[in-house]
């Protein structure tokens, strides 16, 4: 069965498409769906090495959020800028010199087939594909637009449109983008406002204005989140003020793979230094990768006195990949891999680098040994990272005094390295992704998104239900008792998890009960199967697709049986007997009604007594019984 697809479009670059995509992927993963990221074409010098080659760092992070192995199909085209007009084209993880030589107009005809094949493969293998767009979908001069509109059409995708409030002009940007979308407006499910600071009540009137003008609802506003995650475009990254020693990352014009330094915002006072003055007083200097070392060398020469003085004081310097190449004696590019010529380096490393067309792209795991001085605390650590370079002639790891040079990207992402150098670990990516998903769940109307995507309600067939990777729960019975509004249903939902079958016994006989049922439906995970059965629990249990079944509630079930002249005790025994042989885990919800005043009416007294006896039958069979009081579960 072909997956559903959701496109995340933006009013421009840097508005938060990557962040929103990652958060939604983690949210859907938490619901039990098998999800995958996709970005048809990304322009970035931030790449990660995965099985099959390299891919943009943003989609690598999104795959982590989705809990699936990252692969080049998730980013079939990666453009790595090389100067003002050219780009290296990475097609399905591998550099393509042929495509790289073509102009943008000539290249387009060679990309569509590969992109569509990659997308179709993901749509066949997952339940939902969340597709990040590029820039804005309304650059009408570039239509037909591959990374936004074409892929949305191929996938039959619905779309969200996100704007950056912090930049200003978000209302105009959303309305203007909607107006220019033309016939593509029909895909829009909602607007999302991002990076808000201040009093939300001042912004909320914009919701009604936008919906009145466009008919498209605002799903909510995300505040400015203090999360440090690898950035798709490190040149837009503004490190938050941190504690600890000052660390300066030298930001030459073609710096690349800056995303690997995300932990430093938490571990240190991180500065992106564009002038020697900004780097003054740093404890650690970092020379990151460079996409064009030959062109960054003149810029870096202005930092040479600073670097030499730093090393003379025996203070540490870390040079990674292109940064290390520039510290060598010379760079030779005889084939014009990046820029043809011979380029004298800064001479701090006794090596000469030659650029070769075959590109080294591989993941690495190494044990650090033989390091001296400041870097000796890393000895004995096993670290993971990756190589991604055309240059040859440097060792994988080399130390000159307090200078450590390496081809290995990702050194500072290793928790052991963080502890050795900074005395503590940065918050892991998993924790940050969980916080991101929780922020989306707290601030956006995701239930409306579920409904618009058709994730709620009953599936067309049992085969379309997602399969959980977790082992099935142990069979048995759990009983939740409590008063009205004590939190029974919510607690049952938490216990059941993202994949469960609900047997709903309520009947909407009046407006108030219909509203109650609607509220419960809205709070229910969209991945649940719902069986509405007011009487025959045995038959409903046989229809339950999932191994975990929630019966909500016995209170109404007993009332329904009494009204039809059926014996609740006999039906309870029949259900419990069936449950013993079903292999299901059942969470039964019921009101505890025997603690109030004695009802005045004989039928009410009979109902109270029967429900008490049914509760007792279920409690004797149950492995665990809880009494819910004011939202707290007390185990009996």
Residue 548 CA: distances (Å) to CA of 84, 177, 468, 627: 58, 45, 12, 20
Q: Classify residue 52 as left (phi > 0), alpha (psi -120 to 50) or beta.
A: left
- Of residues 409, 443, 491, 546, which has the active-site annotation? 409
Contact 617/597 with Cβ under 8 angstroms? no
Q: Which two tokens stand for residue 515?
A: 């509203």
Count Cβ neighbours within 10 Å for each residue of 559-598 and write b for 16 or more, e otherwise. Answer: bbbbeeeeebeebbeebbeebeebebbbbbbbbbbeeeee
DSSP assignment letter at 93: T
Q: Classify residue 126 as left (phi > 0), alpha (psi -120 to 50) or beta.
A: beta
Radius of gyration of the CA atoms of the chain, in A: 30
- Of residues 321, 390, 450, 553, which has the active-site annotation? 321
Residue 379, CB half-sphere, CA atoms under 13 Å: how many? 10
Residue with tokens 């571990």: 267
CA distance 112 to 76: 10
Using CB atoms within 10 A of its CB, is residue 400 exposed (0-12), middle (13-18) or buried (19+)?
Answer: middle
Report the chain's terminal Cα–Cα distance, integer Å.
Answer: 45
Residue 31: closest CA among 66, 62, 59: 66
Is 27 one of the annotated active-site residues of the chain?
no
SS3 406: strand
SS3 288: coil
Residue 589: closest CA among 455, 482, 511: 482
Is 553 one of the annotated active-site residues of the chain?
no
* Catalytically active residues, by annotation: 321, 409
């Amino acid at each position: 069965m072909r997956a559903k697809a959701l496109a995340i479009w933006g009013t421009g670059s840097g508005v938060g498409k990557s962040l929103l995509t990652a958060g939604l992927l983690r949210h859907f993963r938490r619901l039990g769906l098998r999800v995958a990221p996709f970005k048809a074409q990304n322009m970035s010098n931030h790449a990660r090495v995965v099985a099959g080659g390299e891919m943009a760092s943003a989609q690598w992070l999104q795959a982590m959020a989705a809990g699936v192995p990252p692969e080049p199909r998730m980013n079939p085209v990666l453009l790595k800028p090389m100067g003002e007009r050219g780009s290296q084209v990475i097609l399905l993880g591998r550099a393509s010199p042929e495509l790289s030589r073509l102009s943008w107009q000539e290249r387009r005809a060679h990309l569509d087939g590969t992109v569509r094949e990659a997308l179709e493969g993901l749509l066949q293998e997952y339940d939902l594909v969340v597709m990040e767009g590029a820039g804005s979908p309304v650059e009408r001069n570039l239509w037909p637009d591959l990374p936004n509109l074409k892929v949305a059409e191929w996938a039959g995708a619905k779309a969200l449109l996100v704007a950056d409030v912090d930049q200003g002009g978000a209302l105009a940007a959303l309305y203007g983008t909607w107006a220019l979308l033309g016939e593509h407006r029909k895909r829009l499910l909602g607007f999302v406002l991002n990076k808000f600071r201040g009093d939300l009540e001042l912004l909320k009137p914009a919701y009604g204005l936008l919906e009145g003008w466009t008919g498209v609802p605002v799903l909510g506003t995300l505040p400015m989140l203090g999360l440090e995650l690898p950035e798709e475009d490190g040149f837009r990254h503004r490190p938050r003020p941190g504690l600890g020693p000052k660390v300066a990352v030298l930001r030459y014009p073609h710096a690349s793979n800056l995303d690997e330094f995300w932990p430093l915002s938490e571990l240190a006072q991180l500065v992106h230094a564009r002038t020697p003055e900004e780097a003054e007083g740093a404890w650690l200097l970092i020379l990151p990768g460079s996409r064009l070392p030959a062109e960054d060398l003149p810029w870096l020469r202005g930092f040479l006195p600073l670097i030499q003085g730093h090393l003379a004081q025996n203070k540490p310097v870390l040079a990674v990949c292109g940064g290390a190449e520039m510290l060598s004696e010379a760079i030779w590019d005889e084939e014009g891999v990046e820029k043809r010529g011979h380029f004298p380096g800064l001479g701090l490393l006794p090596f000469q680098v030659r650029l070769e067309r075959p590109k080294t792209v591989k993941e690495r795991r190494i044990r650090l040994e033989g390091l001296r001085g400041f870097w000796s605390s890393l000895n004995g650590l096993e670290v993971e990272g990756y190589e991604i370079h055309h240059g040859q002639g440097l060792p994988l790891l080399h130390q000159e005094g307090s200078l450590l040079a390496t081809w290995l990207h990702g050194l500072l992402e290793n928790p052991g390295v963080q502890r050795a150098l900074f005395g503590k670990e940065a918050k892991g990516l998993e924790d940050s992704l969980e916080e991101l998903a929780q922020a989306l769940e707290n601030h956006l109307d995701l239930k409306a998104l579920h409904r618009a995507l058709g994730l709620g309600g009953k599936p067309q067939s049992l085969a379309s239900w997602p399969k959980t990777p977790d082992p099935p729960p142990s069979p048995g019975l759990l009983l939740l008792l409590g008063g009205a509004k004590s939190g029974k249903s919510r607690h049952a939902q938490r216990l059941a998890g993202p994949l469960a079958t609900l047997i709903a016994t309520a009947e909407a006989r009046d407006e108030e009960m219909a509203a109650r049922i609607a509220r419960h439906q809205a709070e229910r995970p969209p991945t649940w199967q719902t069986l509405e059965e007011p009487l025959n629990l045995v038959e409903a249990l046989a229809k339950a697709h999932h191994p975990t079944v929630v019966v909500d509630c016995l209170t109404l079930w007993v009332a329904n049986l009494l009204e039809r002249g059926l014996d609740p005790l006999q039906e309870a025994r029949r259900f419990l007997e069936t449950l013993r042989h079903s292999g299901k885990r059942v969470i039964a919800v019921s009101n505890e009604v025997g603690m109030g005043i004695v009802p005045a009416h004989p039928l009410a007294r009979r109902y109270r007594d029967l429900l008490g006896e049914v509760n007792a039958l279920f409690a004797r069979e149950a492995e665990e019984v809880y009494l819910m009081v004011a939202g707290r579960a007390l185990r009996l």
